[in-house]
Amino acid sequence: MQIKKILQISIVSILTIFLFSCKEEPKNSNPSGSVLDKSAVVDYSGLNLPDKPNIVWIVAEDLSPYLPTFGDSTITTPNISRLAKEGVTYTNVYSPSGVCAPSRAALALGMYPTKSGTMHMRTGPWFSFHVSDEQLKNYEVTTYEANVPPGVHMHSEYLRRAGYYCTNNDKEDYQFRCEMTAWDESSKNAHWKNRDGDEPFFAIFNFNLTHESKIWAHAKDSLLVPEDLDVPIKPYLPTTEVAKNDVRRMYSNVKLLDQKVGEILKELEDENLLENTVIFWYSDHGGPLPREKRTLYDSGLQVPMIIRFPNKQLAEQVDDQLISFVDFKPTLLSLAGIPIPDYVDGRAWMGKHANAEKRDYIFAAADRFDLKHDRLRAVKDKRFKLIRNYLPNQPYYLPVSYREQMPIMQELLRLDSLGQLNEYQAQWFRKTKDSIELFDTFKDPNELHNLASDPKYKEKVQELSEAMDKWIVQTNDLGMIPEKEYLAQRKSYFEEPQTATPKATNSEGNWVLDCETEGASIGFQWIGKDEKPGDRWQIYQGPIQNKEDKQLVVRAHRIGFKPSEFVVEE
C-alpha cells in the first residue's frame, strides 16, 4: 500500500493560527497539583513479586485525569488517592482510540486497532444497539466481527494456560465475540472468589459509572457534589448553567466510581490478598464531554492510571514514560512470567520480560463512529502532537446521535446555531479541517493553537510525520482502506466463517484433540450423562486422560469466527 503524506495547509488555517497567536487563551481554572513535580524515573528492577502474582484491573469508562492525584482538586477521591499514595502514578498513558470498543480490543490483543481490523466503532452485533433498524438497513456495510490473524489470542487466555483463574465483570465489547476459552467466568457475578482453590487470579472489574451515557441517564439523580459547586470548564465548552450541571454530574459520577474502587480494596484486604496482588486502576479512554470522547486530542486519548504493588512497593512515585494500551498485554504477561507473543505491537515496561527501551511516540486513529466516517491519525511524543486529517473537506464535528443526548452537547449545538460560541468553542464546528495539525501540549494542553505552518516547528512536523508514515506502513493500517472495500477483500461478514468442528481421537485411554481452523483454541469439559455443557471451558494443551463415568465435550473457536459445533464423546 502506498501512503501519501498530506502536508497542505489552507490559507484559512494560516490566518487562524495568526489570529490565535495574538490572543491569550482563557486560563483553565483546574488547579495544578504537585504530582508532575515529582521524580518521573521509576526503577522496576527491584520489585519483589510472587512468581505468579494476583492481578486486578479496575477499569473506569470515559474518564480523563479529572482527579486530585493528577492536579484537579475540584472533588476528593479518597480511595483512588489512597491507591496513588500506596502506588505509582502514571502521567503519560494513552489509548490508541478515543472510544471504547477499539480501545478494549487493543488491551485484549496488544495490537493497534488499525492492524487488527477493530478500528471502526462499532463492527459486531453491538453496532445495532446504536442505530435504528431503518438506518442499519440502508447502511453501506453490514455488521461483522473483526477477523484477526490466526494464532492471536486474548490476554486472559495466555494467563489461563499458565494456571491463572481469569474473570471479567462484565463488559466485553472487543469488536469480536469474546474468545470462548478466554475466561473462567465473564458475567456480572464474575469474581476471583468463585475459584475452586487458591490459584493465582486475573480479575477485571469494569465500572461504567463515569460513562458518557451516565451524564444524561443520572440527570435527575441526586448529586454527590454540591449543586452550586464551582466547577472548572474547559475553554472549548460553554459556560452556561446547563453545561455546568453536566460537568457537576461528571464529577458526581467520579465520586460514585471512587466508592466502587474502595469496595474492591476492602474485599482484597478482608481476604488477606492485598499484599500479593498487583492492582491496575485506569480508564478505557478520555473524558465523556464534547470534544473529548471520540477525538484524537489528549482529552480523548489520555487516561489516568495508578498501579499499586504488594506491600506498597514504589509508593508515591510518578512515572512519566509514554505508555500505550498496546503495552498493557505484554506487561501483564511479563508480570506473570509468561513469554510475550511475537505479534503484539506493544512492549512490557516491567516484569520478567521487560523491554528496557522507552517509547518515543504513541499513536492513535479515528475512523467510523456509528454511521459517520472519518479518517484521522495522530502521533505524539511527550510534548508535541501531530494530527493528520485525511478527509479535510469534512467538518471536525460529526453528528453522533448517542453523544447528542447529553444536555451539554445540545447546548453547544444551540449556541452554535445562534452564532453565540466564542472562537475556542466554535473551533470544533469548523466546516473543513486543517490537513495537518501540530500542538504543543505543554503550552497548549487543550490543543487550540495549530502550529503546523509556523516555520519554527518545521523540523518537528517532519519528525512526527515520518514517524507516522513508518507506523502506518509497519502496521499495514487497515483503516486507510474504505470500509466497504476492506470487507470485500475479507470476504466474510458476521455470520461467517465458522470454526471447523474439532476432531477427538482416543489413544490408549487419552483423548487427542485437533482442529483444522488455523490458530483456533480448543476447549473441553467433562459432564455427566444427563448434563448440558456450561460456559466454562478448559483449554486443551495436550492429551487428556479419559474419565470412564463422564462424557467429553469439545468445541473450538478462533477470534472473528463463529464457535464450532459441539463434539460429544462417550
Query: At residue 234, what is the residue type?
Result: K
Give 7 or 206, the one with higher predicted confidence. 206
pLDDT confidence tier of residue 27, bands split at 50, 70 and 90: very low
Structure confidence at residue 443 as a pLDDT band (50, 70, 90): very high
Helix (H, G, I), strand (E, B) or coil at 287: coil
Pairing of strands 521-527, 538-539: antiparallel
> What is the tens place of the pLDDT at every residue in 491-509?
665 556 899 999 999 999 9
Work out the widest C-alpha separation in the chain, in whole angstroms: 83
Between CA 496 and CA 393, with CA 124 as vertex, the angle to 5 degrees is 115
Residue 386 has pLDDT above 80, yes or no: yes
d(CA 437, CA 108): 30
Q: Greater confidence, 129 or 385?
A: 385
In the chain, domain spans:
503-569
Query: What's the pLDDT tens digit per position in 104-140?
Result: 999 999 999 999 999 999 887 655 555 677 776 777 7
pLDDT tens-digit readout, 163-190: 999 999 999 999 999 999 999 999 999 9
Catalytic residue among 22, 100, 178, 515: 100
Cα(330)–Cα(334) distance, integer angstroms? 6
**What pLDDT, on the 0 to 100 scale, is given for residue 492?**
62
Cell 489520555 found at: 302
pLDDT band at residue 98, thresholds of 50, 70 and 90?
Answer: very high
100 is catalytic: yes
Q: Sign of torsion, CA 387 390 395 398?
A: negative
Number of neighbouring beta carbons within 10 Å of residue 39: 10
Q: What is the pTM of this model?
A: 0.93
- Give 5 or 565, the one with higher predicted confidence: 565
71: left (phi over 0), alpha (psi -120 to 50) or beta: left
Query: H/E/C letters for each residue in 73-94?
Result: CCCCCHHHHHHHHHCEEEEEEE
Query: What is the fold, at CATH topology level, of the domain defined by 503-569?
Result: Immunoglobulin-like (2.60.40)
Q: Is the separation of the CB atoms in 88 and 307 below 8 Å?
A: yes
271 pLDDT more than 90: yes
5 pLDDT band, cuts 50/70/90, is very low
119 contacts 367 by C-beta, under 8 angstroms? yes
Q: What is the mean pLDDT of residues 318-326?
A: 98
Inter-residue contact 97 to 365 (CB < 8 Å): yes
pLDDT, average across residues 57-77: 98
Say if residue 204's pLDDT is above 80.
Answer: yes
Note the pLDDT of residue 39: 61
Work out the mean pLDDT of the chain and round it to a whole number.
Answer: 91
Q: Is the pLDDT of residue 21 over 90?
A: no
Angle, CA 522 vertex, CA 519 and CA 526 arms, to 5°: 175
Is the Cβ–Cβ distance between 88 and 310 less than 8 Å? no
pLDDT over 90, % of the chain:
83
So what's the pLDDT on residue 254? 98
- According to the model, what pLDDT value does residue 36 have? 57
Query: In this predicted structure, what is the pLDDT of residue 364?
Result: 98
